[in-house]
């Protein structure tokens, strides 16, 4: 089991009777429906009290099948299989041993549509359907798994205030009710478009054309601004079944996974996540050979017994529960598609760095290390606002990050990079990245303050400051990607850390 504890701010917003109704729901359902919640969700199974007051709840821990090995530049890591990983280009996925094809994509969409159609039949609406809250399995027939189920609405009632992930908002603004079957239908359509396009923010229906006319027609209807015009999730099932069958009939083109790290590269040895998956050529969408999990499977409840709301002593809870499985490790939620941190050598090929270039690189590497420390506060701060956890604290975090960026920027503008390969271009891109990042931090600080003043359900959540921050963040990301493409080849030669754009 896993334990989720609410912070003080969230506790004041929790509707406990609704949370207890969610806990009790499986016990009121037919066995097949109770099994659905047990197998496809991290469903709440018991409320937890401390000192006679609500503290959080117990839920099913994520099964190991919804973890995935992820290939980085020099090593493999074991990651929660969040759908956001799949919303990238085929080249990006192949480089990380996540190559998939349309059989996998359409099969996952079919499984998700079936699960959501069943949720709607039971009176449940998902609401904040996003690539952070939805997991995939790498089986031949992929399956979905839903997180943050305490935020689902049951028969129109919510245990928590309804919020939306950035870039996954319904199009009606304040005029459309959140967390309804219609809003779920819109967000499922976004998932379909973005999974087929390999893109984290597109709303272009053209990507669905290769799935067939029936699916493309559903996408056109699903993106309609009028909630009543969107198809139900049940309407997707037949067309997606036919699309899967048609995709299976197409020739399967093998994807060659790029070679792994060389024997001389640091960290190339297998990590604690286990040995890397097979690097042999295999059809896209087929998972690497599975290996037995190294950890003991978590204790689970029978779905028929999960219906009684319990008051559990906190000391016992902490002994039973894997608290670390609650929080998802997410990338920057406002940075757009994940970029490949690897790059190829440019110019006339590798040459031995000079003493002057090594000295300049050492100064720059030290500055970049400070920038990486400042960067770590951003994603948690965004989550504090979007999940209405602590907007006031998030505003302070953004201001602190902005001050750190400006300090780094002042140091960068004062150094010389003329002895580094393409030093002027390297310097210009880093300066641009830091300036846009600082502007984004400032805008996000104003956004968080506005949300704190006016409330999480107000128009401030999607106001001008949020859009400004997103725009500046995208510009910063583009400059960071250009910078790391220039920096990393030289960093490898001179022994400095290779960076992802997320490190800046």
Q: What is the mean pLDDT of residues 346-372?
A: 70
Tell me the per-residue pLDDT of 406-463, one tens digit each, with 9 for 90 and over.
888 888 888 888 888 888 899 999 999 999 999 999 999 999 999 999 988 888 888 8
Which pLDDT score, from 0 to 100, does residue 252 have?
A: 56
The mean predicted confidence, pLDDT, of the chain is 79
**pLDDT > 50? residue 305:** no
Which pLDDT score, from 0 to 100, does residue 359 have?
A: 83
- Across 26-35, 90-99, 106-115, 489-498, least confident range: 489-498
Which pLDDT score, from 0 to 100, does residue 495 have?
A: 79
DSSP state of 124: E
- Across 165-169, 192-196, 443-447, least confident range: 165-169
- Across 188-197, 229-238, 463-472, 495-504, least confident range: 495-504
Using CA atoms, how far residue 154 sits from 22, 160, 174, 307, 479, in Å, is: 7, 11, 21, 15, 44
First to last CA, the chain: 36
Using CA atoms, how far residue 16 sits from 47, 79, 125, 155, 177, in Å, is: 9, 32, 18, 15, 22
- Across 18-27, 197-206, 281-290, 348-357, least confident range: 281-290
**pLDDT > 60? residue 48:** yes
**pLDDT > 60? residue 337:** no
Quickly state the pLDDT bin for 282 (edges 50, 70, 90).
Answer: very low
Own/partner contacts of 137-141, CB < 8 Å, gap of 24 or more, are 137/65, 137/66, 137/81, 138/65, 138/68, 138/81, 138/287, 138/288, 138/290, 139/65, 139/287, 140/286, 140/287, 141/107, 141/111
Which pLDDT score, from 0 to 100, does residue 152 have?
A: 96
Q: Which residue has the higher pLDDT, 30 or 296?
A: 30
Residue 364 is encoded by which pair of tokens?
A: 């720059």
Q: Which residue has the higher pLDDT, 322 or 92?
A: 92
Phi, psi (rounded to 5 degrees) for 53:
-125, 150
Quickly state the pLDDT bin for 101 (edges 50, 70, 90).
Answer: very high
Indicate the pTM of the whole model.
Answer: 0.56
**pLDDT > 50? residue 338:** no
Neighbour-count burial for 388-416, b at 16+ CB within 10 Å, e otherwise: bbbbebbbbbbbebbebbbbbbebbeeee
> Where do we find the tokens 């670390």?
324
Quickly state the pLDDT bin for 270 (edges 50, 70, 90).
Answer: very low
Quickly state the pLDDT bin for 374 (edges 50, 70, 90).
Answer: low
């Amino acid at each position: 089991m896993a334990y989720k504890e609410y912070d003080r701010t969230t506790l004041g917003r929790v509707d406990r009777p609704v949370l207890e109704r969610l806990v009790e729901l499986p016990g009121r359902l037919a066995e097949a429906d109770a099994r659905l919640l047990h197998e496809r969700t991290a469903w709440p199974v018991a409320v937890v009290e401390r000192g006679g007051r609500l503290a959080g709840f117990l839920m099913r821990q994520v099964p190991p099948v919804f973890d995935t090995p992820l290939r980085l530049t020099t090593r493999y890591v074991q990651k929660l299989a969040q759908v956001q990983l799949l919303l990238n280009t085929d080249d990006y996925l192949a480089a990380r041993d996540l190559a998939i094809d349309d059989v996998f994509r359409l099969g996952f969409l079919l499984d998700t549509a079936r699960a959501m159609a069943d949720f709607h039949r039971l009176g449940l609406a998902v609401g904040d359907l996003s690539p952070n809250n939805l997991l995939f399995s790498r089986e031949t027939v992929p399956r979905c798994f839903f997180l943050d189920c305490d935020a689902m609405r049951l028969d129109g009632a919510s245990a928590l205030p309804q919020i939306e992930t950035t870039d996954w908002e319904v199009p009606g603004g304040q005029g459309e009710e959140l967390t309804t079957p219609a809003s779920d239908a819109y967000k499922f359509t976004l998932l379909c478009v973005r999974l087929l396009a390999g893109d984290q923010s597109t709303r272009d229906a053209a990507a669905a054309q290769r799935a067939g006319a029936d699916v493309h027609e559903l996408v056109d209807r699903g993106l309609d601004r009028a909630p009543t015009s969107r198809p139900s999730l049940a309407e997707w099932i037949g067309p997606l079944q036919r699309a899967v069958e048609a995709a299976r009939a197409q020739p399967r083109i093998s994807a060659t996974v790029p070679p792994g790290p060389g024997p001389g590269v640091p960290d190339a040895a297998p990590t604690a996540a286990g040995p890397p998956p097979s690097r042999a050529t295999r059809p896209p969408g087929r998972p690497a050979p599975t290996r037995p999990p190294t950890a003991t499977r978590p204790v689970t409840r029978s779905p028929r017994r999960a219906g009684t709301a319990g008051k559990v002593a906190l000391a016992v809870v902490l002994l039973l529960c894997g608290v670390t499985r609650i929080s998802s490790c997410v990338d920057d939620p406002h940075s757009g598609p994940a970029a490949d941190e690897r790059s190829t050598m440019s110019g006339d090929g590798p040459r031995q760095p000079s003493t002057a270039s090594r000295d300049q690189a050492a100064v720059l590497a030290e500055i970049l290390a400070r920038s990486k420390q400042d960067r770590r506060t951003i994603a948690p701060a965004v989550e504090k606002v979007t999940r209405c956890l602590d907007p006031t604290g998030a505003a302070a975090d953004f201001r602190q990050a902005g001050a750190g960026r400006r300090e780094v920027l002042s140091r960068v503008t004062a150094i010389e990079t003329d002895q580094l390969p393409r030093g002027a271009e390297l310097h210009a891109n880093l300066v641009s990245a830091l300036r846009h990042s600082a502007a984004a931090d400032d805008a996000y600080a104003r956004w968080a303050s506005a949300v704190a003043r006016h409330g999480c359900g107000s128009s401030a959540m999607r106001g001008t400051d949020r859009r400004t921050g997103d725009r500046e963040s995208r510009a910063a990301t583009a400059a960071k990607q250009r910078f790391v493409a220039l920096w990393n080849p030289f960093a490898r030669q001179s022994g400095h850390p290779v960076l992802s754009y997320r490190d800046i």
